Structure 1
C-alpha cells in the first residue's frame, strides 16, 4: 500500500514566468487582460490587472484559474446548460467560460491560469501562450 506520493509544486518563479508571458502576449495583441495564477489547491499565487482591462474580469480570471486547476481541463468546454448549476454548486467558484487552462507538469496538475477581459478565444490564446513559455522554461 502506498500512503504518500511525490508532488510537483508551482514556485513563485514559475508563476512569474507565466504572468510575464501572459502580459507580453496580451500587450502584443493589444488586448488588456486580467491574469490570475493559482496553485494546485486553487490558492492565488499571482495576479495582474493590465491598464484598461475590465473590473469584472478580476473575479472571472481567478475563477477560470480555479476551475482549470480543479478539473485539470481548459475552461469553457462544458455543456452551457449546466452553467447555473455549476455556479450554484460551487458558490460561484467554478465557471464554464473560456480563458482558463490547467498547468500540468509530468502528468500532474500543479495549478491553473485564468485570463479575462477579451473574447473567450483571446483569453485562451493568452493563457496558452503563457503555458508554452512556462513549458519551454521547464525544459531548459
Structure 2
C-alpha cells in the first residue's frame, strides 16, 4: 500500500531562513542556517554576511544529523558523553554526525518533515536561532 511522505518545501525553508535570520540579527551575530527535507537532503542554506566560514559545514551537519536520528543535536550530545549509551556516535555515518546544540527536527502534525541546523554563536544561541527558524512553520518547536 502506498504511503504519503510529508516534507518541508522550498517555500517552508525560505520562511524558516527568514525567521532564523531575524533571530540572528536580534542577537547581533551573522549566522549560517541550513534546512533539510524529510529525507535529510539540503533544501536551502543561507550564510549571512560575515558569518564564520567554518560554521557552514557545521550548520548543514547539524540539520542532517537532527533528521538522521530524529533528535536534537543537543540531546545527542548528552547521549554521546563517555559512559553514555551513544558514546562515539559522532564517528558513525562517515564521521558526518555533528553532536552539539543547534540542530533540531521539524515537526508538523506530530510527524517529522525535515530539520534545521544553525551555527555561528554559542550553543545556546545556535539553539535559539534554530528554534526561531522551526517555529516559522511549526509552532511550539522545542529543542
User: How far off its partner does 1:86 sit?
Assistant: 2.0
Q: Work out which of the residue numbers 59, 64, 67 in structure 2 matches 1:66.
A: 64
- Report the Cα distance in structure 2 between the residues aligned to 1:42 and 1:113, rounded to whole angstroms: 10
Q: Which residue of 2 aligns with 1:50?
A: 48
- 1:62 CA drift (Å): 0.5
The verdict on how the C-alpha distance between 1:101 and 1:24 changes in structure 2, with shifts beyond 3 A counting, is: same
Number of the residue aligned with 1:75 = 73
CA distance in structure 2 between the aligned counterparts of 1:31 and 1:126, rounded to whole angstroms: 10
Q: Distance in 1 between matches of 2:110 and 2:88?
A: 29
Kindly report structure 1 stretches of 4+ aligned residues shifted beyond 4 Å: none
Q: How many residues align?
A: 134
Cα gap change, 1:116 to 1:127, in 2 (>3 Å):
same
TM-score calculated relative to the size of structure 2: 0.86
Q: Is the 8 Å Cα contact of residues 105 and 112 (structure 2) preserved in structure 1?
A: yes
Quick one: distance in 1 between partners of 2:134 and 2:55? 20
Q: Write the deviation string for residues 91-140 of structure 1: whole angstroms up to 9, x where unpaired.
A: 1221211000101111221111000010011000001011112225xxxx
Structure 2 gap ranges (5+): none
Moved more, 81-90 or 12-21: 81-90
Residues 16-55 of structure 1 mapped to structure 2, 5 A cutoff: 16-55=14-53
Find the aligned partners of 2:118 and 2:64 in 1 and give their Cα distance.
Answer: 11
RMSD: 1.7
Q: 1:14: which partner in 2?
A: 12
